[in-house]
Amino acid sequence: MNRVRLAVVAATLLLSYAYFFQSGGWNQNSRFDLTRAIVEQRTIRIDSYHQNTGDKAFFRGHFYSTKAPGLAFAAVPVVAAARPFVRAAGLGVDALLYLATVVTVALPTAIAGACLFQVALTLGASVGGAAFAAIAFGLATPIWCYATLFWGHALAAACLVFAFTAAVALREFDSPRCDFTFGAILGLATGWAAVTEYPATPPAAMLVALALTHAWPDGRLRLLRIATGLAAGVLPCLVVLLGYQYATFGSPFRVGYMYTVNFASTMNEGFMGLTYPKWYVLREILVGSYRGLLPLAPIVGVAPLGFVLLWKGVRAGKIAAVSIAIAVYYVLLNAAFRDWHGGMTYAPRHLSPALPFLCIGLAPLWTRATTAFRALLGGLALFGVVMSLIAVSTTPMPPETLKSPVSDLLWPAFRVGDLSISPVESSSLDPKLHHLRTYAGYHPWNLGERAGLSGLFSLAPLFAIWAGAAAAWVGLGRHERDLERYFEQVNGVRAINFFLAK
């Protein structure tokens, strides 16, 4: 039955993500330019496309993407397979970007939500608690926005969740086959997380350490099996990354940010723009009106309470410690970055891979909460869902010039149903709503608009999807209770017949 619930969680998240297309932008275009260059020209140079992005490097007379290549590489088979059909249908490059985003960003993030559900059950949460943690992560935090964008953050977060799931599974299963398989998953997931976003490397190492501590008491032979699988998964990722950097910048240890066209001052400060955490930045990324996480996703603020319960759980102390460590790492990393605000973005995007590891604490919290406290948790999560819906419906890339993006742009646009607008379209609102929401021929839209609906009515099919998912979930619960009553009756009849036979 829980497999069906896993499918419901994953499908709900995937459809919620795939419902929106967010157009282009420097960050997205930089990655997609590399994908297009590989598919269309068999090159890693983006010379033919570089004018649509400022996130580019210039080295030895050619332009390259500054971004880590993991997401662009993952999209290559998708775009290569879809391109003939898209061209035959007379569709533009935006259709390819949409398909690439759904397959390489939305789908992994949705599966990551399902993995959180499974991990929470493994750690002793109730079905309701596990579902609450998964849905809160997927819809009540800014990850919903990032899952609709061709950025690396959501994919990196998903890869780390896959590695987290494998590390927990190595605690539960002990056999030669499982050791190698989960070790390989761990290696591939951690490796691709780092290939997709360089800052994911330290959390990847933490998850590897977690897996090895689970196996340490069982002896060297088990450690060797896991290490073999780990190497089988991580080495191809390492070859891909170092090979790309050598082919692009002449050394396996040079990255695009070293040759950036537009952000040299940022990269030259400290180590690639990183110095030390600053208190005012911590305040801004946590509670500020400009990029603050907690005003947009308050459910995250109570998640640490769940780690107290998780810490006291059976053999869950190490898992809680690593989850907390990863979350703290990303918060401090964001606070130490010179361009901490992240440019045109909703919420602090640099710490977004911490969100699943924070939300895992919500599962035990919901499981042991009273009815009144569950009502509070539900209210906080609902507020986060509404805030994410407002952003994903209008633009998750508000201009960085707005000091309060929600009150200055997102809510006014959403309130009157001015959704997915481009700067060339008319608006009944203030001219500041015409900030750059369309780039290089890409135009944002949602599936309701594609079906002919407009304004807030274009969100009606999304609400219908949610209603269907809720009905399916309730139906599963009823079916499970009916089965329990049936087996109780069968067992009761068998017991009576046994005693009568005596």
What pLDDT does residue 499 have? 43
d(CA 275, CA 193): 23
Instruction: Judge whether residue 149 has pLDDT over 70.
Output: yes
Q: Report d(CA 278, CA 446) in Å as an integer.
A: 38
Structure tokens given for 244: 């790309």
* Polymer length of the chain: 502
pLDDT digits (tens, 9 = 90+) for 330-342: 999 999 999 899 8
pLDDT reported for residue 219: 84
Cα dihedral across residues 438, 75, 345, 294: positive or negative: positive
Q: Is residue 484 pLDDT above 70, yes or no?
A: no
Are 213 and 318 spatial neighbours (Cβ–Cβ below 8 Å)? yes
Asked if 357 and 326 count as a contact pair (C-beta separation under 8 A), the reply is yes
pLDDT the model gives residue 181: 95
Q: How many CB atoms lie within 10 A of CB 83?
A: 17
- Give DSSP secondary structure letters for 42-108: S-S--TTTGGG-S-EEEETTEEEE-S-SHHHHHHHHHHHHHHHHHHHTT--HHHHHHHHHIIIIIHH
Task: Give the mean pLDDT of 63-85.
Answer: 97
Lowest mean pLDDT among 115-119, 332-336, 481-485: 481-485
pLDDT for 332: 96
Shortest CA distance to 12 belongs to which of 464, 481, 493, 386?
464
Residue 369: pLDDT over 60: yes
Q: Is the pLDDT of residue 480 over 80?
A: no
What is the average pLDDT value for the chain, to the nearest integer? 89
Q: What is the pLDDT of residue 265?
A: 74
Banded model confidence at residue 266, pLDDT cuts 50, 70, 90: confident
Q: To which residue do tokens 């401090």 refer?
A: 332
Closest by CA to 137, choosing from 118, 150, 124, is 118
Q: In 3D, which of 166, 242, 141, 164 has the Cα closest to residue 198? A: 242
pLDDT score, position 174: 80
Per residue in 32-69, pLDDT (tens digit) is 999 999 999 999 999 999 998 999 999 999 999 999 99
Question: Nearest 5°: CA angle at 347, between 343 and 349?
Answer: 65
Instruction: State the maximum Cα–Cα separation within the chain, in Å, rounded to a whole number.
Output: 93
What would the mean pLDDT of 172-193 be, rounded to a whole number? 93
Q: How far is CA 372 from CA 120, 222, 342, 366, 368, in A?
A: 22, 46, 37, 11, 12
Predicted pLDDT at 1: 62
Q: Which tops the pLDDT comparison, 344 or 381? A: 381
What's the pLDDT at 429?
40
- Residue 172, pLDDT > 90, answer no
Note the pLDDT of residue 425: 37
**What is the torsion angle, in degrees rounded to the nearest 10, for the CA atoms of residue 308, residue 313, residue 318 and residue 320?**
-40
Q: Which residues, 6 or more positions from 329, have their beta carbon under 8 angstroms from its beta carbon?
A: 202, 203, 206, 354
